Structure 1
């Protein structure tokens, strides 16, 4: 029989056994087209090729039948020696490799059909496909067809052809042709590695003496059997596939039982069996290779029989397989592509003969010559499925862990349970590292109480070794390891066989140790278990650290809440203080405190301290806030009392300062008719912000807070305006205190609005903020205030807040001078602290260097006067405030001139306020009684450059407070 005819017969038999209905339909069971007949013939022809030349010719014909009007064609096929794709086609007729660039290179990279309208002139295929010019007709294309191996991952060929446009039906036919070509390539590769001899005349297998590897010359019945077996190996279930192979081996070797022992792909130190005879095992049987009869088969790649193994190995195998072994044949299953043993085929108890012979070995080798690629592919697929399942399991594990961050003990219990499930361990112990000790809070899923915690030194035992080295430890035989302590097993009766101990880290720091004991379905923990543990430990580390951090945060919150409650308790007024204020009738009219209460010339600092809260209540009522916003009188009393107690007692930034600022807001409301350009709720927010704007002031500015690394700086320095944010936070704390929320009856929208306004207004008291918006304020004054513009509203509120904060500069000279003394007392106290801490102290904070008149003149010129000048342009009625500030500046100029003439010197600048000056006589009437000569001297003094210039103290202020630590303090505090 000719080889081509035999090949066609074999292909027909293969097609018949794989799908009978398909075979009959194609062979005449249904009416077929000429194209179907031609395609079937060429597919049969592909099944019978025995050489590469025949394959190339069959490929040309198959493509020509499938596509229309093929013109030029190049076929690249996998070379067995190099693995590269080579071709003998083309005009040159020489062997060349597949180009890495152009259309062919793109097809090889993407591994799917690519159809192009034409080839680029630089494409390497241009010389091989002459008709594929850049100017192809509209209906002509260049098709690049990939041929993929049985695993759909390895490229075994590429076909490039010029043809008509490719239809979807033709794509399906090309896919079918490609699969048949791939089978042919695989068969030719196997034939090239083995010596194929003509079939024998008998049906009994006989050894081929001419085969260097002891190969077999199988008869037609065996070829039919292999074809039928290959046709049945179409499912992706490893157990089902192994069952079919085992049945084939039992039938053709006449064995009582056969088994396929798969070599573990992780570390190749053990084999496992999933199918024994016709039984799919519920649990895999695993055997260590070095200690078993399979060691010779795997390491030396040769077959063994029962005579080649020891009695101990035979006994172990009988126990594992639960059967008596009378005869045995173990044959290595080699993956030729990787040149390694991937399995061991075992035939047990020959039927009708005392032992297995060479013919039986040949049957096994012949079987796996064709089935090992499918088996390895399916095992790889199973491995991928397992990895996918483990990835999904790991994600679920992460979800389970991260939902228990609120309780570290429950979290540890979850970690132990998940660790046991992932690695199939019998027991698990978990230790946390605390103060050079390993602490077990949970054991075998049971949460221990505080007294029941187990603590061991960090240097003791296996867990201690892992904790100190930070490396995973996989112990296959616990009793032979020097660090294992048997005393626990002796006392509990538990037998520890193997241990997997791994560290749980937070970055490079070990925070815990997990110790797993006794692999359930295996001899020991594998390399795969180590990898799973390594990944799992990352999730454990993240969850444990965050859980401990969460606990610390909750503890800190509880402590903060207790401290806040304690602070609020002591801030609350006594019943004796509050009771007289609880009656509305006890709140008098503002003018009852002083006839000039609503006049800009009046200083509220003359009101006694015990009457200031009553005066604040009076202003709330007089401005209409109580009735307009439905504020309960008791709530207002509680609020004002807490605000009063919320201020500390530094020389200047105390309750009297806040009360004065709030009073000036009251003056603006009473005296400036144009204040109605703001909304009522904006004026309300402004007044409340005024009395709250310096809550809990410590007498130091923002720069000091940051450089001294205070708690406030830790909380707020990243956002800037440290003290201002603290003031607002304290105001919110008071509002959130029961019975103190004066905004409680506002609508949701108004409530949020008034809080946002308060925050913006209080933050506006920062000097850095004022300096940032000064240009916008001047521009608004030039362009005119626009009532409909929200940004103008915000700028005006900031301007009004600053004018209130600096309002002491608008009072009479004696008040202004007294305020300056308080301010510099506070400044110099901070300067003393800075010196003690080794910090650089600015001149205005240094009691030994500060020139107070010069600093004040500088401050009034560049900070205070511009504020009131802008305000007078926006609201002309406020022009008298500019005159008041200017009059006080005149007095400072007099004092500066007189102190220069008298050449005053002192080691303490604050002593300046204790020296009597002639210039202060009659200072109540600003600007009167000055001679022309004195006026000229004052003018000259003001114009003198030096420390009083803009480059002097004010520049120091702005620079110091702009350095990410803006301090509103120094706006008002150098006033």
Structure 2
């Protein structure tokens, strides 16, 4: 701004112009040095840093105890608060046109004081948190909102909020003057910074949309890949956890089309045949109205159910969701896409809804053309499938290439032959090397031509797929795998003609993969047997087992993990069939239902030549492997017991809320000792006793199981006697110096068994 005019003799000061702008440089309340210091700190900062510095300055010079900036999005009609005081909010507070505060600020052009009744709960909580962090004793009472205008602007660029400022007229005028003077010269900087960051995020999302179009167009002939890419891109664009796709047929939404028979969720068999009537639930309401629905579990209207049966199928809790239509040409709703669980945010924003309209049109067009192409190219695809089988024997094997690789020098596994082995003594990183060494020790790597580098990658992928659960985690899988190896190697199941080599190989793979991606869903086991503890070991309708089977097959088909690439076609089919059966056999609900069948097998002579007898035997063996913790020394079981408690109690949270299962009150911990007694007497001990009648050498585990049962009976009696409810202290003190049992010679069949179910002290 120039305050001078030029003439023939040079430049002279224009006093009139200077007088007109005299008010622009007058500071009534602010200290010039403080303002200059503030402006210097605002250079080359992000919007979050700008707000932090401005808030700190306003907290220091005004009467407000806390401050924040409420600005408006340039893309959608939405108010945003990203910083309160020095606290950067995650997620941000977003105000829509339905929010009373947003409507109030739009209708005012001057400063206004708003009490807490008109403020969002999230804003009140964040301000109170900031007040508490700065040791202010009082809670939020009111907020003074001051509008900040830019040059030539008729609407505020943003609003500055002062929390708990003094309410007298003189103090309010002083606060307004300080805010106006501090923001007058930086309003353009703040506005441009906000626009830059918003446009930058907008361009990033546009790039993701373009990338989605490009990637999907390359795989439009493959429905499975297209479906996975659409879900992956939608989760990336909307920053969410899950995505579901449904097509509209007649008056319903389906996950499998009737005409083409194509499922849209390839990861879960339980979701293959979902049918949602139009108008039912949030997803059905989108199909009926053709409009976007976005909500959270805290915004239930009472007219539409938020948590549908899909939550029970998927095993996940839906925190928030957004469902939007997928139109195609003249069809307003060709399908519906639902994204759920926004990452690090409470709900989906108006910006997400804007991109959803664009992405919905893209997905609808791609799905329509993909299904149409699938129908027209069915004959060609069948021909390709036939050719793939015919040409399989002509492809070059990778055995000659991977023979150059040698097995790594890995830890000795001599101790893993022992029934008293403690898997907890093995470092988690060493477990992968131990498993590879076990495969090598059994000559499986050489016999089936497994590339060591692919076996290593396969095991690492399986390990990574295990969830961080209290009990059903990678440690449990490693315990089962070591126990299976010990049975095979020590008791010579192949040499003594109990199982075939290929059955042993499949059993080891099944034990290794039977809990892949298991997330801890509860089972229907209690409804069948009434035993509460055994519900840990089974799942509703074997849903998780079917999912583990699918994940195992996908991993085996991955080129980087194809450990079966060098086996023959017959062996390949046989191994996959065995893995399918053996993973299903890990469900103890089915295991105990087959007890009477095992009795028939024991009643007759075991015939190694009969496949039916071998199938029953490996099902019994796998059931015992799943319960291996109770056939190990007490030191191991004592270490695992707290994890079992935590797993069981964690799984009971949802059934209590849903009212699906009628569990007794197990929050009273002394009942857990009784549960272990019941589990040992009704499941573990009978299973091992039946197994030792077929394989006599396995009877060496019976004393260990009975000693563990004796320990639990003693714990139960001690709790009853001392009337204590702290079972963990009993576990850690009562048996602190107890010596571990050692296996004894096989017990004779006519050995007298003690009645451990009565709970007598030994």
TM > 0.5? no
TM range (shorter): 0.3 to 0.5
Structure with more contact order per residue of length (Cα contacts < 8 Å, sep ≥ 6): 2
**Bigger Rg over Cα:** 1
Give the TM-score normalised by structure 2: 0.43
